[in-house]
Amino acid sequence: MTDLRPTFSVRRKTPPAIGWIVEATWPTGQVDTIEGFSSEAKAIKWIAEQSESWVGNHAIK
């Protein structure tokens, strides 16, 4: 069975933008960007605590 869940990664926004983003990469190669994190730690915490419900609300496009 194919895993239809994305993998998550955290990266700093490219200057001059400030902050951090989470990228959700789906098995199809599609990448969704979740923005609004002021630190790497907050982005990592979002993955640990909220990514499960986020996946439940997003279908592969």
Q: What residues make up the domain containing 13?
A: 7-55
Residue 22 lies in a domain: yes
Residue 40 lies in a domain: yes
20 backbone dihedrals φ, ψ, rounded to 5°: -130, 155
Name the nearest CA neighbour of 28 among 56, 4, 57, 58.
4
pLDDT in tens, the chain (61 residues): 356 899 999 999 998 999 999 999 999 999 999 999 999 999 999 999 999 999 988 765 4
The domain tally of the chain equals 1
Residue 2 lies in a domain: no
Residue 61 lies in a domain: no
Q: How many residues appear in the chain? A: 61
